[in-house]
């Protein structure tokens, strides 16, 4: 079996990250390969979630594994996902593979129900709370062209953007 390609994760301010992804309409072997490559790329980057726009593919597709390889049943593929219900709130620190070394507290719903398609194009619903709920909301935001820093107060966001500019100037970004 051929080794899957590891995709490079694009960094902010790459324009693909600010653009809503197009719906996935073709459910074929190429899509299944892409999903496998996304899991591999996510693990290689030490993440628990990866959205297609983060690897320069502007499509509504994301993979999540909150167990980070420990539990295969926890691997989730969400294609054309939408949040259909949410409850409660949680405020926890978040990071993002497209914003390395940036971590900030973000308010999210504590529980969400998501409707999405699987790799065969079949619709299903999945519920998540705490970390999984946060991961699903974070990744679906990516598909809408929203980064977690867009959810911060203006003051916090300005501080983060200044930090990024400084890192860019020093060649660390």
What is d(CA 97, CA 113) in angstroms, rounded to the nearest whole number? 24
Inter-residue contact 143 to 23 (CB < 8 Å): no
Inter-residue contact 112 to 136 (CB < 8 Å): yes
- Is residue 127 part of the annotated active site? The answer reads no
Question: What does the longest C-alpha to C-alpha distance in the chain come to?
Answer: 50
Peptide bond into 13 cis (omega under 30): yes
What are the structure tokens assigned to 75, written together? 């691997």
66 carries a ligand binding annotation? no
Q: Determine which one of 37, 94, 104, 139 is catalytic.
A: 139
138 carries a ligand binding annotation? yes
7 carries a ligand binding annotation? no
Inter-residue contact 65 to 46 (CB < 8 Å): no
> Which residues contribute to the annotated binding site?
96, 138, 142
Active site residues: 139
Known binding residues for Fe cation are 96, 138, 142
């Amino acid at each position: 079996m051929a080794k899957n390609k590891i995709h490079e994760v694009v960094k902010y301010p790459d324009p693909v990250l600010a653009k809503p992804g197009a719906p996935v309409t073709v459910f074929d072997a190429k899509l299944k390969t892409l999903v496998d490559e996304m899991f591999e790329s996510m693990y290689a980057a030490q993440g628990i979630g990866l959205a297609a726009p983060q690897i320069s593919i502007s499509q509504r597709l994301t993979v999540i594994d909150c167990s980070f390889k420990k539990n295969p049943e926890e691997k989730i593929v969400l294609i054309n996902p939408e949040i259909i219900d949410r409850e409660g709130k949680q405020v926890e620190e978040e990071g993002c593979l497209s914003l390395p070394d940036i971590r900030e507290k973000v308010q999210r719903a504590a529980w969400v129900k998501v409707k999405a398609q699987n790799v065969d194009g079949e619709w299903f619903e999945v519920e998540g709370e705490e970390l999984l709920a946060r991961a699903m909301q974070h990744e679906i935001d990516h598909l809408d062209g929203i980064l977690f820093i867009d959810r911060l107060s203006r003051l916090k966001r300005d501080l983060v953007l200044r930090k990024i500019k400084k890192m860019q100037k020093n060649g660390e970004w």
